[in-house]
Structure 1
Amino acid sequence: MAHSSRHGFCNPGFLRLVLVLVSVCLVGYIVGPPLYWHLRENLTVEASCPPCVCDCSSEAIFSIPLGLLNSSFADCGKHDPDMSEEMEKDIVNLLSEELNLQRNVTNDNLEHTKAAILDMKKTSSQYQKEAEKCNSGMETCEEAREKAEAALVAECKLSALWEKRAREQGWKDRRRA
């Protein structure tokens, strides 16, 4: 009995539907997590921002001519106690405070640099001691090699002398024959 192509899994409409569903799932799988984290990050940034304590309305800002726009924002922070305290400080105090901060940073950097130099000197000293030990060991080995070479030369001369005497006495080398 023959099967009809309109029934079952071979139906083109059914295959098209399955492919569309698989495509949608793949796109959601690929795009979903980055989109989720991006949206979540934006929500946490907006939630962590403190509310503005300014008394400026948006209508007042748009009605001000562009030349006066910056001067109108100067009044905006007067109600904030931290901002008003900072604004009351005169320029000399601000500059001296900045210089003190720069001096502290410079002193901290200098201390770290001195500590790094001291560690480098200690490490360099250790390496130098190891190099001296190595050189001493090399000299000892070189002296021992020279003594062994001299002893070998003396032994070869003595062996040649004994072989010469043995040949004079009638000895024949069996290895050469």
Structure 2
Amino acid sequence: MVIRILYISAGCGQNDPDLNQELEKDTVALLSEEIALQKIVSKETMDRTSALTMDAKRASSHYQKEAEKCNAGVETCEEAREWAEAQLREELKLTALWEQRARQLGWKDRKRAYT
């Protein structure tokens, strides 16, 4: 807090009503005015801070929801991949079984016959 005491020579600023009004105030009034101004500035700062905090919370919530959607999508994709992998394994087993039966019945793979 800064307190300024002005020593003004006689006759200086007599015609300035704002200056005359300020000079007539006593120290307590000046300090009270300074405190009131500081309260206003503090309140404005707190209001801005609160608004920024709320914006940050909203953004955080939005990104959290997006992350949850992404995780659900990845999980669904992983389940589908696992299902497709299991289906492929079953298909390969079935193909091997049919190939084995065909070989037992005399089928020969032309590609393998030449190698």
- With the shorter chain as reference, the TM-score category is 0.7 to 0.9
Larger RCO (alpha carbons 8 Å, 6+ apart): 1
Q: Following the alignment from structure 1 to structure 2, what is the Cα–Cα distance between the partners of residues 155 and 163?
A: 12
Shift of 1:81: 2.1
The residue aligned with 1:74 is 9
Query: Aligned to 1:124, which of 42, 48, 60?
Result: 60
Q: Following the alignment from structure 1 to structure 2, what is the Cα–Cα distance between the partners of residues 118 and 79?
A: 50
Q: Following the alignment from structure 2 to structure 1, what is the Cα–Cα distance between the partners of residues 17 and 61?
A: 57
Aligned residues: 107
The residue aligned with 2:81 is 145
Q: What residue ranges of structure 2 are gaps of 5+ in the alignment?
A: 1-5
Shift of 1:166: 0.6
Shift of 1:80: 2.2
The residue type equivalent to 1:129 in the other structure is K
Q: Following the alignment from structure 1 to structure 2, what is the Cα–Cα distance between the partners of residues 117 and 79?
A: 49
Shift of 1:105: 0.7
Give the TM-score taking structure 2 as reference length: 0.86
* Residues 1:165 and 2:101 are matched in the alignment: yes
* Residues 1:92 and 2:28 are matched in the alignment: yes
Shift of 1:133: 0.5
Give the TM-score taking structure 1 as reference length: 0.57
Query: Aligned to 1:133, which of 62, 69, 79?
Result: 69
Q: Following the alignment from structure 2 to structure 1, what is the Cα–Cα distance between the partners of residues 104 and 16?
A: 120
The residue aligned with 1:104 is 40
Shift of 1:84: 1.4
Task: From the CA coordinates, give the structure whose radius of gyration is larger.
Answer: 1
% identity of equivalent residues: 58
Q: Following the alignment from structure 2 to structure 1, what is the Cα–Cα distance between the partners of residues 43 and 15?
A: 37
Give structure 1 regions of 4+ aligned residues with deviation exceeding 4 angstroms.
Answer: none
CA RMSD of aligned residues (A): 1.5
Shift of 1:121: 1.0
Q: What residue ranges of structure 1 are gaps of 5+ in the alignment?
A: 1-69
Deviations 1:14-53 (A, max 9, x none): xxxxxxxxxxxxxxxxxxxxxxxxxxxxxxxxxxxxxxxx
